[in-house]
């Protein structure tokens, strides 16, 4: 299994397991395939996880999809029994043992042969990570090793020690990998950073969140078409590597989002960091001024910025917002009152506005 850089997002390039393998997993309710593929039932228009306990349909009425985005675009609705849009805590059983091994020694290199020795199919592991987090298992492992090296250098460690501890055989290999991940050489490591990525389940589907030490830098629905571009933008804007790990800002964000969706929180207090062009930053700052339960038109925002002619530019900046819900781009609608666009899907925008209006 070839290593891939943590800034690559090869989700669409990863092949599904064979149909025979997916049929077997589905018919046996194999939860270890949850997140690897989804099943759409043509006769009902419903899609499920592989582990769904509902009565199994005839196999010829099943089609398979690699991502939530694909199955939703095909017109299927989420099953109310297995709730495939909600990640929950039912991670495949093999994941806990794998992550425990990584956490016990972040510098360890786990290759394809090691996965097989643990009884794991490398292709299944690769696709699970890509589907759930937008980067491969190997990319995450590499990012963890480099993040450990970065922390060591920032706290006075030598580059020589970092090279050894990260498992690199040469300074040049370490330097190249470090530069790709953090946009800086090891010698400039004190200027580099890490963005911690995490998965957050919401009533409107799973989201990917990112946080630096300064605050939340990303919150996107995982089926958004622009997700891969947004992840790349985060890396570029912050000169940071992307690592799957928890962070206090992510913990606070999860707590506040849960309260928001139950209607008990109207104003987020988690710090956010959203660098962009000067105009984009002005638009996003204006979005934060829109009160809970209210909306503004794109023209209203342009007028607030003293540039009535900038309606299209406001719409574009609104669409490039990387921190959904917290920076409430869903509160901007057309002048006519119609919803307009929304990167997470108009059905989500409609439900977010309904939620807020119902708890004013």
Provide the 10 A C-beta neighbour count for residue 117.
10
CA distance 217 to 309: 29
Task: Look up residue 66 and give its two tokens.
Answer: 């690699």
> For 71-99, what is the mean pLDDT?
74
Residue range 181-201, pLDDT digits in tens: 555 555 554 445 678 888 788
CA dist list (Å): 342 to 67, 82, 86, 135, 221: 20, 27, 21, 24, 11
Task: Look up residue 223 and give its two tokens.
Answer: 């089926």
Per the CB < 8 A criterion, the answer to whether 45 and 76 are in contact is: yes
DSSP E strands in the chain: the ranges are 38-41, 46-48, 62-65, 77-78, 193-200, 207-212, 215-221, 240-244, 296-297, 332-333
Residues 157, 158, 162: CA angle, nearest 5 degrees: 85
> For 322-327, what is the mean pLDDT?
95
% of the chain beyond a pLDDT of 70:
74
Domain boundaries along the sequence of the chain = 11-78, 192-360
Which CATH class, in words, describes the domain spanning 11-78?
A: alpha beta
Residue-level pLDDT at 2: 33
Confidence class for position 73, pLDDT limits 50, 70, 90: confident
CA distance 79 to 337: 32
Confidence class for position 3, pLDDT limits 50, 70, 90: very low
User: Bigger pLDDT: 148 or 124?
Assistant: 124
Residue-level pLDDT at 86: 64
Checking 58-62 for CB contacts under 8 A at 24+ apart, the result is 59/23, 59/26, 59/27, 62/23, 62/26
Q: Which residues are catalytic?
A: 329
* Fold entry, domain 192-360: Arc Repressor Mutant, subunit A (1.10.10)
- Tell me the DSSP string of 234-275: HHHHHTEEEEE---HHHHHHHHHHHHHHTT--SS--S-B---
Prediction pTM value:
0.57
> Which is it for strands 46-48 and 77-78: parallel, antiparallel or unpaired?
parallel
Residue-level pLDDT at 278: 94
Highest mean pLDDT among 61-75, 86-100, 210-224, 318-332: 318-332
Q: Which residue, chain included where needed, has tokens 């093999």? A: 94
Whether the per-residue pLDDT at 147 is higher than 80: the answer is no
CA dist list (Å): 334 to 58, 213, 240, 360: 45, 36, 36, 22
Residue range 241-296, pLDDT digits in tens: 777 678 899 999 999 999 999 889 999 999 999 999 999 999 999 999 999 999 99
């Amino acid at each position: 299994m070839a290593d891939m850089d943590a800034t690559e997002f090869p989700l669409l390039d990863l092949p599904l397991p064979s149909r025979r393998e997916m049929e077997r997993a589905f018919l046996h309710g194999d939860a270890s395939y949850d997140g690897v593929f989804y099943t759409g039932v043509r006769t009902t228009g419903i899609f499920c996880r592989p582990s769904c306990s509902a009565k199994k349909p005839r196999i010829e009425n099943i089609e398979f999809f690699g991502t939530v985005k694909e199955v939703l675009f095909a017109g299927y609705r989420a099953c109310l029994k297995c709730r495939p849009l909600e990640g929950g805590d039912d991670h495949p059983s093999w994941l806990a043992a794998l992550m425990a091994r990584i956490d016990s020694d972040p510098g360890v290199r786990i290759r394809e042969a090691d996965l097989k020795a643990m009884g794991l199919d490398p292709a299944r592991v690769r696709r699970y990570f890509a589907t759930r987090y937008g980067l491969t298992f190997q990319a995450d492992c590499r990012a963890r090793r480099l993040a450990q090296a970065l922390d060591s250098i920032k706290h006075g460690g030598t580059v020589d020690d970092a090279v050894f501890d990260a498992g690199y055989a040469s300074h040049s290999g370490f330097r190249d990998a470090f530069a790709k991940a953090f946009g800086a050489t090891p010698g400039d490591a004190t200027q580099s950073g890490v963005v911690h990525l995490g998965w957050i389940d919401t009533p409107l589907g799973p989201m990917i969140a990112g946080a630096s030490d300064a605050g939340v830098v990303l919150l996107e629905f995982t089926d958004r078409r622009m997700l891969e571009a947004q992840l790349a933008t985060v890396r570029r804007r912050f000169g940071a590597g992307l690592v799957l790990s928890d962070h206090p800002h992510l913990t606070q964000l999860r707590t506040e989002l849960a309260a928001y969706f139950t209607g008990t929180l109207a104003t987020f207090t988690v710090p956010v960091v959203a660098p962009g062009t000067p105009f984009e930053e002005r638009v996003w700052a204006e979005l934060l001024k829109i009160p809970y339960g209210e909306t503004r038109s794109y023209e209203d925002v342009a007028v607030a910025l003293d540039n009535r002619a900038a309606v299209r530019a406001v719409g574009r900046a609104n669409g490039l917002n990387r921190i959904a819900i917290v920076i409430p781009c869903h509160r901007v609608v057309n002048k006519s009152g119609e919803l307009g666009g929304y990167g997470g899907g108009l059905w989500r925008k409609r439900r977010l506005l309904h939620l807020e209006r119902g708890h004013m």
